């Protein structure tokens, strides 16, 4: 009976497989970037325009009201359409206290019973970061300060409490605040943890939650591996809490994520929570995505966020806008993160065009163009496949490859075309060390425009590369055996052009 069953499988060629992941690069829901809406224009403003807090269709006057930070002051702007903004000439909150002498920014504003409540960050002359409080009866001020209301008390907070998100919970009848604590030393003091506190009044006293920090870095090599921060929280119509956050993968850059919670305390964070990746290399969003604020505008989500604008030596930040659309030709950030090189991911080298993924050949010199998977593959053994077309005349090591058993940027198997001067090759990175495992044919055998149906299969110690149904290369290696991992795509040269389509991961 066993022999008969085996014969049936062999004759029919049908083997039951489970699809673990797929991407056809069709249109998806996502953020439609509208570009810069706020930039430096007033004498008191620094080059850093940061941390927008927006209230829509509340209070008298303009429909849109924005408070923003500019390093040492907080500004105010209004708009009727959310695109064109008129700034108040003078800052509305400035440095007057010793606990604000180092920096003053990051406002979060709530309107309740005719009173405008603001929490904001102040860096003291003692180099300690604290959350401060102020109130006003007019959104443009004058604002009455209440001093520091949340201060560092734990060693892991690194004397730095900041990035507050203020909310009054009508159901619970209390004030709530989510905030950042701790500093990533290697990233110039960027946020490390996200925490939570409550109070009977916006002015305090505030009580930190015993479960702090609520959110920690993932330490998985992904977009939020090194640190998390910049929370902004809102309550959705069904009572769910939604938090937009920042994640740091390496020293830089930062990118945006969005997560949900039933109670505002228990949050689940993974790589697929990323919802706002870097922009195209050479553009205004290619270096860093910073703090985001989502507002419902007549049933459509708009997100305002600040970015490091441009890739010059000067550090300039602007406030940008994106709007949620039901169908966009974009790389799905829940599935992929755009990387260039192993040292620092910087900007996008990929676009979706006509239902195919294109590597654009616009990476910095000597940096590969890589899509790192954000969807966890919960299996040791599987096959990752894709249709690959190289758009360039062949050159040595202009390879287009698939990644398997990818855990971080220094550990994975890869296989594809024009690698190691071969037509087909398999290799590995282990602790950042690149090693060829097998190769066949010559890279000169590859012609531009030819479609290759590549499938890289990992099963135990066996690593196999197929082109269509043909096994073209096989080798063995036991160095990488993770129980869960990610997949990836890469055009290895900075200037290479290729397309990828119909990516699929199946069990084996």
Same domain flag for 415 and 266: no
Cβ distance 358 to 25 under 8 Å?
no
What is the residue-level pLDDT of the chain in tens, covering all 508 positions? 333 333 333 333 445 689 999 999 999 999 999 999 999 999 999 999 999 999 999 999 999 999 999 999 999 999 999 999 999 999 999 999 999 999 999 999 999 999 999 999 999 999 999 999 999 999 999 999 999 999 999 999 999 999 999 999 999 999 999 999 999 887 777 899 999 999 999 999 999 999 999 999 999 989 999 999 999 999 999 999 999 999 998 766 789 999 999 999 999 999 999 999 988 877 788 888 999 999 999 999 999 999 987 656 688 999 999 999 999 999 999 999 988 665 555 677 899 999 999 999 888 788 889 999 999 999 999 999 999 999 876 555 668 999 999 998 899 999 999 999 999 999 999 999 999 999 999 988 898 899 999 999 999 999 999 999 999 999 999 999 999 999 999 999 888 999 999 999 999 9
Work out the angle at residue 164's Cα, subtended by the Cα atoms of residues 159 and 165, and round it to the nearest 5 degrees: 160
321: which DSSP letter? E
Residues 199 and 265 in one domain: yes
Residues 319, 348, single domain; the answer is: no
Q: What is the pLDDT of residue 16?
A: 62
**Six token digits for residue 486:** 């990610």
The count of structural domains within the chain is 2
* Structure confidence at residue 282 (pLDDT): 76
Q: Looking at the structure, do residues 396 and 273 belong to the same domain, yes or no?
A: no
Are residue 353 and residue 446 in the same domain, yes or no? yes
Residue 21 has which token pair? 């992941």
Q: Do 307 and 402 lie in a common domain?
A: no
Which pLDDT does position 342 carry in this prediction? 54
CATH number of the domain within which 199 lies? 2.115.10.20
Tokens matching residue 121: 């960050």
Q: Is 333 contained in some domain? A: no
pLDDT at residue number 210? 98
Contact (Cβ atoms closer than 8 angstroms) between residue 129 and residue 152:
yes
Whether residue 478 sits in one domain with residue 398: yes
Cis peptide before 138 (omega within 30 of 0): no
My answer on whether 416 and 286 are in the same domain is no
Tokens for 235, please give them.
Answer: 């309550």
**CA-CA distance, 179 to 195, in Å (whole number)?**
5
In a domain, 2, yes or no: no
Q: Of 294, 324, 354, which marks where a domain is finished?
A: 324
Distance CA 249, CA 226 (A): 5
CATH number of the domain where residue 500 is located: 2.60.120.560
Residues 212 and 90 in one domain: yes
Are both 117 and 246 inside the same structural domain?
Answer: yes
Q: What token pair was written down for 342?
A: 């192993």
What are the two backbone dihedrals, phi and then psi, of residue 316, each rounded to the nearest 5 degrees? -120, 130
Query: What pLDDT does 4 receive?
Result: 32
Give the domain extent around 39. Answer: 30-324
Same domain for 430 and 307, yes or no, is no
**CB-facing half-sphere around the CA of 427: CA atoms within 13 A:** 24
Task: Tell me which residue of 110, 177, 118 sits closest to 144, measured CA to CA.
Answer: 118
pLDDT at residue number 320: 97
């Amino acid at each position: 009976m066993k022999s008969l069953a085996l014969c049936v499988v062999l004759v029919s060629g049908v083997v039951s497989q489970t699809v673990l992941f797929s991407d056809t690069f069709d249109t998806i829901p996502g953020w439609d970037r509208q570009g810069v809406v706020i930039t430096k224009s007033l004498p008191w403003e620094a080059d850093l325009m940061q941390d927008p807090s927006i209230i829509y269709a509340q209070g008298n006057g303009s429909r849109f009201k924005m408070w923003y930070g500019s390093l040492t002051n907080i500004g105010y702007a209004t708009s009727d359409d959310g695109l064109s903004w008129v700034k108040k000439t003078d800052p509305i909150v400035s440095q007057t206290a010793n606990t604000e002498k180092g920096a003053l920014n990051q406002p979060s504003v709530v309107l309740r019973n005719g009173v405008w409540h603001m929490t904001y960050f102040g860096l003291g002359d003692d180099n300690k970061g604290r959350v401060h409080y102020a109130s006003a009866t007019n959104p443009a001020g004058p604002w009455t300060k209440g001093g520091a209301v949340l201060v560092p008390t734990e060693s892991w907070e690194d004397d730095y409490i900041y990035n507050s998100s203020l909310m009054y919970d009508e159901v619970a009848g209390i004030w709530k605040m989510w905030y950042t604590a701790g500093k990533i030393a290697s990233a110039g003091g960027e946020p490390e943890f996200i925490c939570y506190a409550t109070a009977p009044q916006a002015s305090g006293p505030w009580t930190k939650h015993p479960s702090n920090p609520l959110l920690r870095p993932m330490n998985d090599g992904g977009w939020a591996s090194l640190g998390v921060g910049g929370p902004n929280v809102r309550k959705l119509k069904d009572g769910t809490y939604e938090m937009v956050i920042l994640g740091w993968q390496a020293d830089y850059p930062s990118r945006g994520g969005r997560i949900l919670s039933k109670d505002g305390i228990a949050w689940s964070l993974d790589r697929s929570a990323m919802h706002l990746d870097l922009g195209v290399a050479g553009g205004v969003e290619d270096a860093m995505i910073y703090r985001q604020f989502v507002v419902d505008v007549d049933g459509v989500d708009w997100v305002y966020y600040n970015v490091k604008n441009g890739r010059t030596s000067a550090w300039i930040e602007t406030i940008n806008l994106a709007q949620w659309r039901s169908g966009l030709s974009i790389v799905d950030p829940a599935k992929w993160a755009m990387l260039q090189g192993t040292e620092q991911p910087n900007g996008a080298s990929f676009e979706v065009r006509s239902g195919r993924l294109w590597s654009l050949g616009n990476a910095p010199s000597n940096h590969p163009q890589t899509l790192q998977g954000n969807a966890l593959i919960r299996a040791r053994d599987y096959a990752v496949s894709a249709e690959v077309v190289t758009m360039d005349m062949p050159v040595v090591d202009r390879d287009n490859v698939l990644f398997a058993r990818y855990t971080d940027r220094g550990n994975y198997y890869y296989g594809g075309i024009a690698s190691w001067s071969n037509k087909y090759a398999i290799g590995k990175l282990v602790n950042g060390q690149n090693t060829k495992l097998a190769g066949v044919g010559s890279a000169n055998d590859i012609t531009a425009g030819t479609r290759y149906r590549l499938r890289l299969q990992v099963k135990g110690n066996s690593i196999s590369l197929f082109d269509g149904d043909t096994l073209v290369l096989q080798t063995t290696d036991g160095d990488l055996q993770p129980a869960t991992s990610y997949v990836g795509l890469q055009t290895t040269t900075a200037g290479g052009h290729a397309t990828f389509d119909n990516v699929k991961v199946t069990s084996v």
